[in-house]
Every structure is written in structure tokens, then in C-alpha cells.
Amino acid sequence: MIKRSDLEKIFDVMERAYQFHMHRDIMNAQLHLASQTRFSPLTTELSAALDRMKAALETAPPNPGNAVAVGGVRGPGGEPPK
């Protein structure tokens, strides 16, 4: 079983990759004076994968000891803040 903290790390890396490629696509469109930005297939796939990963994180049980979970800060036992 994959730990929630590992999933969160993977999500963060994928988010940075998505932001990088999205910015590159926007800058490329501006360079060529395009009327609209056409995102690359990789950018589109990263976006879809991030959506799936976010849904998985929202339904995954919290790991004891994790300080941060999707949706906000959690306590050591996974309880919501008071």
C-alpha cells in the first residue's frame, strides 16, 4: 500500500511539472503572437492526471503522524483542526 505522504509528494511534483509546461505553452503562444494558447498533449495529460490524483487523495485515509492532508491542516491522528 502506498502511504498518503508519498501520494502527496507525487502530487506536488506533478503539480510543478504541470505549472512548468503550462507556462511554457503560454510563453510559446505569446512568442508566436497566437490569438489563443494551445496546450501541448503533455500539459493536458498532466492536468487530467492531477485531477485523478486529487480525487484519490480526497478519498484516501490519512496516515497517522501526517501534519497536512488535502483540504487543510490535520492533527497527528488525522483529526480536523479545532
What is the distance between the alpha carbons of residues 79 and 62, in angstroms, rounded to a whole number? 9
**Residue 69 belongs to a domain:** no
In this prediction, residue 8 has a pLDDT band, given cuts at 50, 70 and 90, of very high
Domain assignment present for residue 44? The answer is: yes
Tell me how many domains the chain contains.
Answer: 1
pLDDT for res 64: 59
Does residue 75 lie in a domain region?
Answer: no
β-strands 72-73, 68-69: how paired?
antiparallel
73 lies in some domain: no
Cα(62)–Cα(52) distance, rounded to whole angstroms?
Answer: 18
CA-CA distance, 78 to 81, in Å (whole number)? Answer: 9
Domain annotation covers residue 80 = no
Range of the structural domain that residue 35 is part of: 4-59
Look at residue 34 and tell me if it is in a domain: yes
The 10s digit of each residue's pLDDT in 41-70 is 999 999 999 999 999 888 877 765 544 444
- Burial of 34-59, coded b for 16+ CB within 10 Å and e otherwise, reads eeeeebeeebeebeeeeeebeeebee
